[in-house]
Amino acid sequence: MSDDMFLLNIDTSGTSTGGVSSKATTSTMKGNWKQKRQMVKQMRKKQPKTNEVNTEQNGLVNMNAELFNNRNAKVDKKKKNKKEQGKPNPGYKGKGDKKDDTFVSSLFSSNKEIKTKVVEEPVIENDDVSKDEVKEEDKEPLDVEKDDITKNNELFDDQETSAFVDLGIKSPKLVKALNNKLKIETPTRIQSLGIPKIIRDDQKNIFIHSRTGSGKTLTYLLPIYETILRNTQNLGRKSGCTGIIITPTRELAAQLEKIINTSLNIGPSVQAVVLIGGEKKQSEKKRLRKGFNILIGTPGRLLDHFKTTESVKEYIKSSSLKYLVMDEGDRLMELGFQKDLKDIFMIIKDEFCGGNDKSVKKILCSATTGKDGKLGEFINLKDYQMITANSKDEEELTIANSKISETLVQDCVIVPPKLRLATLAGVINNTTIEHSKEVDSEGNVILRTMVFLSCSDSVDFHFNIFSGLTGNKYINRIEESIAETKTGSNVLPSLNDDNLKDFSYVFYKLHGSLHQSIRSKTLQHFGSNKAVVGKNVASNKAYKKHLVMFCTDVASRGLDLPHITKVIEYDPPFTIEDHIHRVGRTARLSATQKVKGEATIFLLPGEEEGYLAELNKLHDNKIQSKGYESVLKKAFLSNDIKRNDYDSKNERKGKTAKANSWDSNVTTWHMNVERMILEKEDLKKSATNGFISHIRAYTTHIAREKKYFNVKFIHLGHLCKSFGLREKPKQLAYTGNTNKKVQRKRKFGDISDNESGEEFQMDSEDEDFKRDTKLKNMSNKNKMFELSRMALKDLASEFHY
């Protein structure tokens, strides 16, 4: 059967009284799935309705061979057999199967109309790009100098840019380390503007404002180095602390420590200590006792040591301390660290500097200016001066001043909720196809993609799905958050492509609920030059890997990872500022960033489409909206996806979809996910948690963006499908209280809603009971909202990380 032929199992005789006849005749249809669906509708209109087997209700209108070829006629029979055998059905569970009450809806039907004009890129069958032979001469080595990708001219001054020495960086040792170790010779615009002002010995506090990846870190770091090295009394790490750097995330703090102590290491005269928690406080104390010139940390941990560790006082004194940096300052505000910061300022002033901290310059640093642009005021930087490389005549801090790299290629794909997961697979897959020829001088292909999600549970779920969808292929699990998937698996179609057979995918997950040591190892592995996994360690073969990291916004700020090819915003950002930082992980000025940088944002049809206009305000080039169909076609057209059934008796395992059209492949892929979730209890739990947490997180979109992102606009049942779940949302949202103590109290009337706190100490179980009662009286959708709101109270800080 040809690709676009479809066997349809509908009685066309017009004589049947049973709707879909059990003696259905078979007709053959041509065309794409839309045409096929239209034809089905027309044919169905001609048939009398039935209560017995309502194909629409059972989700049987899907245009795919796997589910529907010859199926309708067998549904009744199958159900009967199942009942008789009393065995669970490992595959299809349909409405009416009372035991499960699950629902298999089709991926391509009942989807909301997309209003935005989308570009459907033509996909040429049988002559697809992925099918092209990758000839040696076709390979495109990444020649940084030649195509000037990393030069990022927008970041340098048009005129002859001054050298670092002209900016006040006089220490030969430092300039040499910059040239030799970091391969940096010419300062960027923000460095030219910022370094002289920071070094100058006046009291002005400073806001360094410049786009992501423009070199802000060295703008404040080099003056700190220079000040340390100018001190003729410098006795190494025990000579006193010159700079304190506060960061919102542990990852960013660890990265800064690595720059100072490893990448730009100029010996014992400049040494940093990092305090980020996640390890024993005792070992941090031990390191502090050795002395430090620069102290880096997250607010909570810094404050903790300031209050309790004696050796800190020994090294932080007004005689040496000159700079207090708040990197990603607006994020520090957003995360509610104001109180900690105020306490830190106070301890520094009163306890470390004897009541006078006038010699300490406060520096705020970010690519965005905070929600209301009043960041400086907010943290008492009353007398600050803004230094910006974004616009020459800029004085006010406003979001409009925040810029995105001109080299970034941003697009958008508007996807109905049911098709989100498959389209994500499609985008990842197509990134491999598009960049598979970009080899480095040693023949390696290392692509890196970051997929941003709204919450930890959703990160876990997507990591589990993509790393676990291997059928009978082996997953090489190095750590619990790293998994490699190789050729021949069902994870992504490109793994079955002959031209990409040497490719493998390494999946990572990163979020704040992981143990710190795992977070550090994962990031280190993802960022290392040859993320070597498993068997490849010993072989001399060139690496062909696509490293895909599923992460929360914990990875959106400040991280300078090498060679990020693609950023995917699978869940929309919580604020427009988050978008700027997420996409800022690519298209950076960096010796290791050898790609222009691409970003794709996923939006749902409907109100979310309006968000495009907001995004377009930030991007110089209009964002192109891609059609999800072309994404799916490109990914799923050329390689048949095999079913992963476990039903060996029925000999279904391993069989390909009967029709190898792209939509059949998409459906088979999705059914594989659904089956896997049905089979594995832990995966089901992960999917359920992922879905519920995603909804909760969605409710936290800020008020000014609620007109685009309001949970009321979402078809929750359809969204459920993108988590591979067949349950209805209400089943997932409300499970009732199974706590025995509460049930007993309920039974014997020991608990009532009006018991005061004095008479009856409310414990968490009693709160559960109150909640249950409240929920019972609500409509299903309101239940979901209420649950989200309740969880929000406790878990608000969890959502973003």
**Window of 139-147, 212-220, 294-302, 331-339 that interacts with ligand ATP by CB under 6 A:** 212-220
Does an H or E element contain 663, and which? Answer: helix 662-679
| C-beta of 367 vs 447, nearer to ligand ATP | 367
Nearer to ligand ATP, 170 or 258 (CB): 258
Which 688-707 residues touch ligand ATP, going by CB under 6 A? none
Q: Compute the least distance from the CB of residue 386 to ligand ATP, in Å.
A: 15
Q: Least separation, in Å, of the C-beta of 697 and ligand ATP?
A: 23
Distance of CA 584 to the CA centre of its chain: 13
**Candidates 214-222, 224-232, 649-657, 740-748 — which segment interacts with ligand ATP by CB under 6 A?**
214-222
Phi/psi for 362 (5° steps) reads -95, 130
Neighbours of 311 (CB within 10 A): 16
- What single-letter amino acid sits at 93? K
CB 145 → ligand ATP: shortest distance, Å?
13
How many whole angstroms separate alpha carbon 107 and alpha carbon 675? 15
Do 571 and 454 meet the contact criterion of CB atoms below 8 Å apart? yes
Token digits of residue 313: 């006082």
Which among 181-189, 315-323, 523-531, 657-665 is the span making contact with ligand ATP, rule CB under 6 A?
181-189
Q: Draw the binding track, 369-398, toward ligand ATP (x: CB under 6 A; -: no contact).
A: ------------------------------
Based on the shown chain and the rule CB under 6 A, indicate whether residue 589 belongs to the binding site for ligand ATP: yes
- Nearest to ligand ATP of 462, 582 (CB atom): 582
Tokens matching residue 316: 């932080």
Strands 409-414 and 243-246: unpaired
Q: Which of 560, 569, 609, 640 binds ligand ATP (CB under 6 A)?
A: 560
Give the nearest distance from C-beta 351 to ligand ATP in angstroms: 31
| Contact pick of 197, 322, 435, 588 for ligand ATP (by CB under 6 A) | 588
> Within 10 A of 562 (CB to CB), how many other CB atoms are there?
16
Cβ nearer to ligand ATP, comparing 184 with 321: 184
> Which is closer to ligand ATP, CB of 218 or CB of 294?
218
- CA 541 to chain CA mean position, Å: 31
CB of 394 to ligand ATP, least distance (A): 16
Is 188 one of the binding residues for ligand ATP (CB under 6 A)?
A: yes
State the nearest-atom distance from the C-beta of 521 to ligand ATP, in Å: 21
To ligand ATP, the closest distance from the beta carbon of 184 in angstroms equals: 4
Q: Report the SS3 class of residue 245.
A: strand
Helix, strand, or coil (residue 307): helix
| Cα 754–Cα 755–Cα 761 angle in degrees, nearest 5 | 145
Who's near 155: CB < 8 A, 6+ residues apart?
188, 189, 190, 211, 214, 215, 389, 589
Using CB under 6 A as the binding rule, whether residue 182 contacts ligand ATP is answered as yes
Q: Smallest distance from the beta carbon of 518 to ligand ATP, in angstroms?
A: 23
CB of 409 to ligand ATP, least distance (A): 18
- Lookup result for tokens 């948690």: 689
Q: Which helix (H) or strand (E) holds 205?
A: strand 205-209
Burial 367-382 (b: 16+ CB within 10 A, else e): bbbbbebebbeebebe
Query: Is residue 257 at the binding interface for ligand ATP, with CB under 6 A as the rule?
Result: no
Structure tokens, 300? 């909570």
| Structure letter (DSSP) for residue 564 | -
Kind plus residue range of the DSSP H or E element containing 45:
helix 33-45
Taking CB under 6 A as the rule, does residue 192 contact ligand ATP?
no
Query: Judged by CB under 6 A, which stretch of 207-215, 519-527, 702-710, 765-773 contacts ligand ATP?
Result: 207-215
Tell me, what DSSP letter sits at residue 720?
H
Nearer to ligand ATP among residue 205 and residue 590 (C-beta): 590
Near ligand ATP by CB under 6 A: residue from 91, 240, 584, 627: 584
Structure tokens that stand for 558 in this block: 């400040």
Over the window 283 to 302, marking each residue x when it contacts ligand ATP by CB under 6 A and - when it does not, the resulting string is --------------------
Q: Which is nearer to ligand ATP, 66 or 327 (CB)?
A: 327
**Any contact of residue 223 with ligand ATP (CB under 6 A)?**
no
Distance CA 134, CA 425 (A): 23
590 touches 558 (CB < 8 A): no
Among 206, 241, 367, 495, contact with ligand ATP (rule: CB under 6 A): 367
Identify the residue among 91, 94, 194, 215 touching ligand ATP (CB under 6 A): 215
Give me the residues that bind ligand ATP (CB under 6 A), please.
182, 184, 186-188, 191, 210, 212-218, 367, 558, 560, 584, 588-590
